[in-house]
Amino acid sequence: MKLHWMGNHRTLIEKIIKYGNAYSNTYKLQRSYGTDVMFSAAQIQTLEYILEAEDKDEKMSEMAARLGVSPSTFSKNVKNLTEKGLLEKYHRSGNRKDIYVKPSEKGREVYTEYTKFVRELCFDEMFKHADTISEADKESFIRILDLLADVLVWYGEKEPPVRKLIKIEQDEE
- 38-42, 68-72, 168-172: range with lowest mean pLDDT: 168-172
| pLDDT, tens only, 49-94 | 999 888 887 888 888 888 888 889 999 999 999 999 999 988 878 8
| 78 part of a folded domain | yes
pLDDT at 70: 85
Give domain status of residue 26, yes or no: yes
**Has residue 152 been placed in a domain?**
no
Closest by Cα among 85, 73, 78 to 47: 78
CATH code for the domain in which residue 119 is found: 1.10.10.10
Residue 112 in domain: yes
The domain of 108 spans: 10-135
DSSP of 56-114: TT--HHHHHHHHTS-HHHHHHHHHHHHHTTSEEEEEETTEEEEEEEEE-HHHHHHHHHH
Residue 92 counted as domain residue: yes
pLDDT at position 2 over 80: no
As a whole number, mean pLDDT of residues 37-44 equals: 93
Confirm whether 51 is domain-assigned: yes
Specify whether the CB–CB gap between 104 and 87 falls below 8 A.
yes
What is the mean predicted confidence (pLDDT) over 10-37?
91
pLDDT at 173 over 60: no
Q: In this structure, is residue 41 part of a structural domain? A: yes
Determine, yes or no, domain membership for 90.
yes
Averaged pLDDT for residues 89-107: 85
Question: Which of 99, 91, 103 has the alpha carbon at shortest distance from 44?
Answer: 103
Total of domains in the chain: 1
- pLDDT surpasses 70 at 163: yes
Separation between Cα atoms, residue 92 and residue 68, nearest integer Å: 25
Q: How far is the C-alpha of 45 from the C-alpha of 50, rounded, in Å?
A: 9
